[in-house]
Structure 1
Amino acid sequence: MQGLDFSIVPEYWSLIGTGLWWTAIISATSALLSIVAGMGFALVVLYASPVVRAPVRLLMWLFMGTPLLLQLFLIYFGLVQVGIDIPAVWSGIVALSLHFAVYNADIFRAGIASLDPGQTEAARSLGFGAWQTRLYIVVPQALRNTVPAVGNMMIALLKESSIVSMIGIAELVHSAQLVISETYRPFEFYLTAAALYYVLNLILEAVLRGIERKVELSR
């Protein structure tokens, strides 16, 4: 029976490190886009005309009701059939961004609905237009009020980012699989990947705690 041998891990650190880098880049980019798109979806659902609101609601319903893996395959493999060829990395980012944007949109919608309507009325009385009030008064407060919930979604996004390995992106899990195919040492390298994910989670949690502290101090 083959024993465990973690001394082999440093030999493949450059490949594992590259996968770690791509995991961080894909997760960070998708997180930012999911927040921006989520707020956009929330504002459309709450304030746009029915003609604009209906397709956005349909998109949200579709993305909430289907698995992320299926969405990824449709974007990467399916869109090619209609002449839209998106590179693998961007397909992964688009899939992750849209998948989590629809959940962020629900969080932001609830955050906006919980705001005191008197603030909107006060802003309008000072001469702010409807969309100026939403962008400068409503959105900042909704963002502050939803930091914990959105933070949890970003932690989930980081872990779900491993799914992009299914379309050949050399992120952390895919890099570990490449090394395992050479070394036949699955336990060592999967455990290494798990430890690195945990480190990324700890860093993200520390960043989110810092943001939450700043938000509390600004109230």
Structure 2
Amino acid sequence: MNHLINDYIEWWPQLWAGLQLTVGLTFASMAVALAIAITLALGQIHGAPRWARICSVVFVELIRGTPLLLQLFYIFYVLPYFGIKLSPIVAGIAGLSINYGAYLSEVFRAGIEAVDRGQWEASRALGMRSLQFVPLVILPQAARIVLPPTGNYFISMFKDTALVSTISLGDLMFRGQLIASETFSYIKIYSFIFLIYLAISYPASRAVVGLERYLRRGRNA
């Protein structure tokens, strides 16, 4: 038992550095994904220009129809053939944010469309343009609807960051793979990484459930 603890103490600095990168990557990618999602969602709602709806739908279906791992490979390994060479961190953020932005756009679109139509009509009656009342009136109300599913996607992204290890980004999973290849302690290192992911994702998922219940009570009050 002492030998096991000593191993974990020895490995922890490397794993901690990888975990910091994983968390930072998650927050950065989610921030970009939210911007992409809102843009795509607004491009698909009723009243958006036809070209915007077509571009948004095509983009969403293209991304949702291909696996995230392939998208990461394409961004990191294929784009350099077209003169676009990205660092592993930029490629990782781009791949995660584009993938999750496409999925979240459907959540945001549904949330926006769930806002009572009377709010849209009242805003137009006051002489407000779409660029004015959508961010000021519609999006704040839609936020209460989309917050819980967005939280679930945030947790999923945290776990999916493990895929960036395939493009040589030194995240938690990549550091664990290096340690395992050097020590051949596959069971110990991967079990430890398993517990680290679980220790973060499980409390976060329970927090999202609590938030969803809170918002539901607020709507029913």
User: Is 1:8 the equivalent of 2:7?
Assistant: yes
Q: CA deviation at 1:217?
A: 7.6
Q: Give the deviation of 1:48 after TM superposition.
A: 2.7
Query: Where does residue 198 of structure 2 map in the other structure?
Result: 198
Report SS of the residue matched to 1:146. Answer: helix
Q: How far apart, CA to CA, are the structure 1 residues paired with 2:55 and 2:137? A: 26
Q: Deviations over 1:151-201 (max 9, x none)?
A: 221221111110000000111111111111221111111111111111221
Task: Tell me the TM-score normalized by structure 1.
Answer: 0.90
Give the C-alpha shift of residue 56 in structure 1: 2.2
Q: CA RMSD in A?
A: 2.0
Whether contact under 8 Å (1:107, 1:146) holds in the other structure is: yes
Instruction: Report the AA paired with residue 33 of structure 2.
Output: S
Distance across 1 between alignment mates of 2:136 and 2:201 = 32
Contact residue 76 and residue 85 of structure 2 kept, 8 A:
yes
Query: Kindly tell me: are residues 29 and 203 of structure 1, through their superposed partners in 2, closer, same or farther at Cα, counting changes over 3 Å?
Result: farther
Q: Which residue of 2 aligns with 1:64?
A: 64
Aligned to 2:30: 31
Letter in 2 for 1:80: P
Alignment-mate amino acid for residue 61 of structure 1: E
* C-alpha contact (below 8 Å) 2:18/2:175 kept by paired residues: yes
Q: How does 1:182-193 map to 2 (within 5 A)?
A: 182-193=182-193
Task: Give the counterpart letter for 1:182 in structure 2.
Answer: E
Q: Considering Cα pairs closer than 8 Å and 6+ residues apart, tell me whether 1 or 2 has the greater RCO.
A: 1
Q: Give the structure-2-normalised TM-score.
A: 0.90
SS in 2 for 1:45: coil
Q: May I ask how many residue pairs the two structures share in their alignment?
A: 216
Letter in 1 for 2:177: Q
CA drift at 1:143: 1.6
**CA offsets, 1:66-89, max 9 Å, x none?**
011110011111111111111111
Please give the alpha-carbon distance, in whole angstroms, between the structure 1 residues aligned to 2:133 and 2:197. Answer: 40
What amino acid is aligned across from residue 174 of structure 1 in structure 2? F
Aligned pairs for 1:1-219 within 5 A:
5-46=4-45, 47-205=47-205, 208=208, 212=212, 215=215
1:22 corresponds to which letter in structure 2?
Answer: L
1-structure distance, mates of 2:70, 2:170: 19
AA aligned to 1:101 is: G
Deviation at 1:210, TM superposition (A): 6.7
Question: Which runs of 5 or more residues in structure 1 are unaligned?
Answer: none
Q: Distance in 2 between matches of 1:16 and 1:130?
A: 48
Whole-angstrom distance in 1 between the partners of 2:104 and 2:211: 17
Instruction: Give the % identical residues.
Output: 31
Structure 2 gap segments, 5+ residues each? none
Corresponding residue SS for 1:86: coil
* Contact 1:176–1:190 (Cα < 8 Å) also in 2: yes
